Amino acid sequence: MSALICGSMAFDTIMVFQDQFKNHILPDQVHILNVSFLVPEMRRNFGGCAGNIAYNLKLLGGDGLPMGTVGVDFAPYAAWLDQHEIRRDALQEVADSYTAQAYITTDQDDNQITAFHPGAMNFAHQNRVADIAGVTIGMVSPDGRQGMIEHAEQFAAAGIPFIFDPGQGMPMFDGDDLNRFVSQASWLAFNDYEAKLMTERTGKSPQQMAREVKAVIVTRGGKGSTIYTEGKEIEIPLAPAEKLADPTGCGDAYRGGLLYGLQNGLDWEVTGRIASLMGAIKIEHTGTQNHAISRADFDARFKEVFGFAI
């Protein structure tokens, strides 16, 4: 069972400012802001929702194919995907464009200043679901606006069940857009803030949306997650992390677990716990694809945390 994961592919350049922004930004002078921060610590990570989700699904032994548009600078990322045996069949290079990238400066209070360049992501709609054979489950995650719209339409037209996961792409859509996604999707996935935005814009609570789809999954950070399905609310406990290094990408790790459970026909109680543990493993490492675990070690940790085997 092959999962086609539509979404962004991106580089994340993260710089650490060893002070506090508030010591260098004068509130009454922000209209003429001109500041420079010395950032002796910097790292570049491979990221983007499609890449992150596919990476986590691969760790579990699932079959995932990221679909996205990339730029002329993609070679290092391509080599990384090849190293980890993640297929690139559905990645299209856009000439004269850079791969999407975020430049993030973080201070000692964990405040962030981010500049995001979408680059090739703006051409996501050039990829078509029908061009990929053997797809049995799909995902529409944050990407170019038109790409998200068209990929959802294409999954629905092909009768391929898919997860709609708007994430940080939600501000691009109004209530009519979001209600249309709900009518097309088989499953919905949000964090708690996104779930509130969905309710505000569609006029529907998670419970109401769950009557239109197979399940609505809402992650709640340190409070675990809730899965609304078949008139039930299944509470998924938080998997404890050994350390809290970096929350970036935890949602994508969780979604990799969701896809694995769906691919393998597991019930929601098990699927949610697999997803929760993937998020815990990710948060123990900086970056979105720098964590690794063997399947045997994952299964052993799962049994230790939850008290039963997968």
Share of the chain above pLDDT 90, in %: 89
Mean pLDDT of the chain: 96
Chain segment 99-130, per-residue pLDDT in tens = 999 998 988 887 889 899 999 999 999 999 99
Q: Is residue 98 part of a domain?
A: yes
Q: Is residue 230 part of a domain?
A: yes
Q: Is residue 144 part of a domain?
A: yes
Chain segment 49-62, per-residue pLDDT in tens = 999 999 999 999 99
Q: Is residue 280 part of a domain?
A: yes
Q: Is residue 19 part of a domain?
A: yes
pLDDT of 287 > 70? The answer is yes
Kindly state the average pLDDT of the residues 13-27: 91
Domain at 197, CATH number: 3.40.1190.20
Q: What is the pLDDT of residue 106?
A: 85
Q: Is residue 281 part of a domain?
A: yes
Three-class secondary structure assignment of the chain? CEEEEECCCEEEEEEECCCCHHHCCCHHHHHHCCCCCCCCEEEEEEECHHHHHHHHHHHCCCCEEEEEEECCCCHHHHHHHHHCCCCCCCEEECCCCCCEEEEEEECCCCCEEEEEECHHHHHHHHCCHHHCCCEEEEEECCCCHHHHHHHHHHHHHHCCCEEECCHHHHHHCCHHHHHHHHHHCCEEEEEHHHHHHHHHHHCCCHHHHCCCCCEEEEECHHHCEEEEECCEEEEECCCCCCCCCCCCCHHHHHHHHHHHHHHCCCCHHHHHHHHHHHHHHHHCCCCCCCCCCCHHHHHHHHHHHHCCCC
Chain segment 186-196, per-residue pLDDT in tens = 999 999 999 99
Regarding predicted confidence, which is higher, 276 or 244? 276
Kindly state the average pLDDT of the residues 215-244: 96
Domain count, the chain: 1
Kindly state the average pLDDT of the residues 66-85: 98
Q: What is the pLDDT of residue 1?
A: 60
Q: What is the pLDDT of residue 27?
A: 87
Q: Is residue 16 part of a domain?
A: yes
Q: Is residue 28 part of a domain?
A: no
Q: What is the pLDDT of residue 246?
A: 87
Domain that residue 187 falls in: 2-23+39-302
